[in-house]
Amino acid sequence: MDNIQNNQEVYITENTSFEEIAEYFPYLIQPLLEKGIKVIVCGDVKWGTIGEELERLGLKKEEILRELNEIAKKQGGPVRSFKLDI
């Protein structure tokens, strides 16, 4: 079995929420859409975790998580963001 932690940071796990993906890894939205996974529905971020959705859709969890982490690594990890509560 292939281990995704071989000298590579793991940014996305099955417990990563869609809110975290939208906020810190917005560049993953398009690759997820290409796999039929929507992060944003009707203008709002979807509830739940990536793992729950992969199971619901019957997709290969380990393979997709590895792909997402490879993209995140190439992009330099999470984007720097901040929220202003005014």
Q: Residues 4, 45, 26, 34: is their CA dihedral positive or negative?
A: positive
Confidence of residue 86 (pLDDT cuts 50, 70, 90): low
Arithmetic mean of pLDDT, 23-49: 92
In a domain, 27, yes or no: yes
In a domain, 70, yes or no: yes
pLDDT at 34 over 80: yes
pTM: 0.80
**Count: domains in the chain:** 1
Give pLDDT, residue 66: 97
In a domain, 52, yes or no: yes
Give pLDDT, residue 14: 96
The pLDDT tens digits for 37-52 are 999 888 888 899 999 9
Alpha helices in 1-82 (DSSP H): 18-24, 29-34, 50-57, 61-75
In a domain, 57, yes or no: yes
In a domain, 11, yes or no: no
